Amino acid sequence: MKNFIEFIIKQLVDKPEKVFVEENALDENTIEFRVEVDGEDVGKIIGKKGKNVNAIRTLLTALGAKGHKRATLQVIE
């Protein structure tokens, strides 16, 4: 899942070399992903009214359900 998130985020931003994705297992069924991007690219990840980040979260939910896990995503400035 981490590679999938990284791929999607890098396609959206202007500076893909500054994308960093951290994966933390909160418990056996929950995974948290923290995404750090360049300050100028945060708006591109979030999108208008949060549509981009919500779409990515929806994809994560579908991938997590396939593996019987819950996945969350946080964008860090």
pLDDT tens for 52-61 read 999 999 999 9
Residue 54: its H or E element: helix 51-66
Q: Into how many domains does the chain fold?
A: 1
Query: CA–CA separation, 34 vs 27, rounded Å?
Result: 16
CATH of the domain at 45: 3.30.300.20
**How many other CB atoms are there within 10 angstroms of residue 18's CB atom?**
14
Q: Which domain holds residue 47?
A: 2-76
In order of 21, 40, 53, the CA distances from 1 in angstroms are 11, 25, 15
pTM of the model: 0.86
Residue 6: its H or E element: helix 2-12
Query: What single-letter amino acid sits at 18?
Result: K
pLDDT in tens, 12-22: 999 999 999 99
